Structure 1
Amino acid sequence: MTELAKACMCLPIAFIQQKDAFVPHAVQGLEQGRNLFVVNGKWVAPYTPAVYRGYPFAVTEGEDDQLHLCIDMDSGLVGAGEGFDQPFFDDAGEAAQPVKDALNFLQQIHRNRAVTKRVCAALAAEDLFQPWPLKVQTADGERNIEGLFRIDEARLNSLDPDALHRVHAAGGLPVAYCQLLSMSHVQTLGLIQRKLAEVKNRMPEMSDQIDVDGILQRHKSSEPEQTLEPIENDNVVNIAADEGDFDLSAFVNPKQND
């Protein structure tokens, strides 16, 4: 939950229903298998999600309810020989300091997720989640993206004092407003997708060497001054024609991020 305030400034946030719980995720693409914030193997968004910063390490909860440190041995970041000079253990057989630092970082992420789960449960108890069916408009027509949820702003604004107090006491208001604030960034995804398609059509050999950050900066400088007025329809994303089925990738293969 603590990173939502930073993530919502540049990434669209949606909730996904997993079993009986709602979980926030960053929306990072508009088609299957492609993360629009990864270019040439580099993460280009101003904020890097914590789960990526901990890679190639991760923690998982075992049957003993203890956290276990896991390592992706296929990441290319772990190995023996030249270039791999940082040991996992020191001379005393204890975990080396970088490993301890990684574990502490991932344990904090795990604790934050538990807090976020409780906050989302409080939001769900007040029926504050509603479907967010995005529509992707292409030259071939309109395609629907389903399975995402957003905060029901109208219901949030109409909560009675007791319900509003419950949401506030649970820490739900910052989460709700961060998600609502982030929704405009879906249009950024559409912009990147459209610009990538335009460049690919003109220069196919350059499609993997596109400066997304430069595209966004030039677009921003060419646009009239933006206001805080809501966009006309935050459920519609306009992009250029593209092939394949559209999907939303809550995560990408972290191996693409250095």
Structure 2
Amino acid sequence: MASAPNANLPLFYKSLQPLNSNQHGNFSARTTDKAPWLANEHAVPLTVEEFPLAQRHFPIIFSSGENPVPLALMGLNEGVNTFFDAEGTMTRECYVPAYARRYPFLLAKLQADSDQLSLCFDPSSGLVGEFEDGQALFTDGQPSEATQNVLKFNENFEQAGMKTKAFIDELKKHDLLMDGEVSISREGQQPFIYRGFSMVNQEKLKEVRGDVLRQWNQSGLLTLVTCHLISLDLMREIFSRQLSMGKGPVAQEAETAGA
């Protein structure tokens, strides 16, 4: 059902280029009411700060593997998005994850041996370039207010990413993540089985010591776990929406999705 973003190049990004005044002094950034980069994506990374809003719209799951990340499920099958059409137009009102809103920008390391992050962009996005319209990225050779806002947004995203890692580390420390499986039945048909993701093991959650639970309650971690568990009920709603779109899976496809 879901896999972690590509390790070589982040999800959505086809290429990356560091933003600088020498090369991009005359560049502007366009706004858009379409997000074609979301059109065929069924799972988008989330930060823990987004759980309370996201859980109202999407099932929140975790990718499988050694380094799980939280994901908002916009569809249950690869290539199916029930909130955005093929052109990237939102067809159903929903919360848009910060990971998607930061595109085409992001902070990235330019050198493997350095922890310094630089503001980069995807030149293939069509949203950054020498345009007559849009917001200028530089003024008199210095980052414009628009660029400073983009930088701040991305810095906040990185900070939220560190909080998210700490949350995942705590779940792993207490061995609370397990292989997920959801069975969705339709009358007169074999159930559709979705696997290939991780979720919190509720039985093990019940065994966590009281002092740890109190600490989690005070830190807000318990609220995040609750958001995740409650959101899983939305899988059936997403499934029904796929059927109404004519993109319902066959049983074999459902069993192997994201494997």
Structure 2 residue corresponding to 1:153, chosen from 174, 190, 202? 202
Partner residue of 2:129?
A: 79
Partner residue of 2:223?
A: 174
Task: Call closer, same or farther: CA 1:175–1:29 in 2, change over 3 Å.
Answer: same
The separation in 2 between residues aligned to 1:35 and 1:79, in whole angstroms, is 28
Partner residue of 1:4?
A: 51
Partner residue of 1:108?
A: 156
The separation in 1 between residues aligned to 2:52 and 2:108, in whole angstroms, is 25
Secondary structure of 1:74's counterpart equals: helix
The range that moved more, 123-132 or 180-189, is 123-132
> CA offset at residue 46 of structure 1?
2.1
Structure 1 stretches of 4+ with a deviation exceeding 6 A read none
Corresponding pairs, count: 205
The range that moved more, 164-173 or 9-18, is 164-173
> CA offset at residue 171 of structure 1?
4.0
- Residue segments in structure 2 that go unaligned for 5+ positions in a row: 1-47
The separation in 1 between residues aligned to 2:129 and 2:189, in whole angstroms, is 47
> CA offset at residue 190 of structure 1?
0.8
Partner residue of 1:17?
A: 64
Residues 9-28 of structure 1, C-alpha deviations (whole Å, 9 max, x = no match): 11110011343x33211112
> CA offset at residue 3 of structure 1?
1.0
Taking structure 2 as the reference length, the TM-score comes to 0.70
The separation in 1 between residues aligned to 2:78 and 2:189, in whole angstroms, is 18
**Percent same amino acid at aligned positions?**
26
Partner residue of 1:30?
A: 76
Secondary structure of 2:233's counterpart equals: helix
The separation in 1 between residues aligned to 2:249 and 2:221, in whole angstroms, is 39
The AA in structure 2 aligned to 1:9 is: R
The range that moved more, 135-144 or 47-56, is 135-144
> CA offset at residue 183 of structure 1?
0.6
Secondary structure of 2:94's counterpart equals: coil
The separation in 2 between residues aligned to 1:117 and 1:193, in whole angstroms, is 31
RMSD: 2.7
Secondary structure of 1:22's counterpart equals: coil
Partner residue of 2:235?
A: 186
The AA in structure 2 aligned to 1:66 is: Q
> CA offset at residue 60 of structure 1?
1.8
The separation in 1 between residues aligned to 2:252 and 2:121, in whole angstroms, is 33
Aligned 8 A contact 1:23 1:120 in 2: yes
The separation in 1 between residues aligned to 2:65 and 2:106, in whole angstroms, is 20
Secondary structure of 2:125's counterpart equals: coil
The separation in 2 between residues aligned to 1:241 and 1:23, in whole angstroms, is 25
The separation in 2 between residues aligned to 1:173 and 1:151, in whole angstroms, is 11
Task: Call closer, same or farther: CA 1:34–1:134 in 2, change over 3 Å.
Answer: same
Task: Call closer, same or farther: CA 1:243–1:89 in 2, change over 3 Å.
Answer: farther
The separation in 1 between residues aligned to 2:116 and 2:65, in whole angstroms, is 22
The separation in 2 between residues aligned to 1:123 and 1:31, in whole angstroms, is 26
**Pairwise mapping of residues 123-142 of structure 1 onto structure 2 (< 5 A)?**
123-135=171-183, 141-142=190-191
Task: Call closer, same or farther: CA 1:29–1:186 in 2, change over 3 Å.
Answer: same
> CA offset at residue 137 of structure 1?
5.4
Task: Call closer, same or farther: CA 1:196–1:243 in 2, change over 3 Å.
Answer: farther
Higher RCO (CA 8 Å, separation ≥ 6 residues) = 1
Task: Call closer, same or farther: CA 1:186–1:45 in 2, change over 3 Å.
Answer: farther
Task: Call closer, same or farther: CA 1:81–1:53 in 2, change over 3 Å.
Answer: closer
> CA offset at residue 52 of structure 1?
1.6
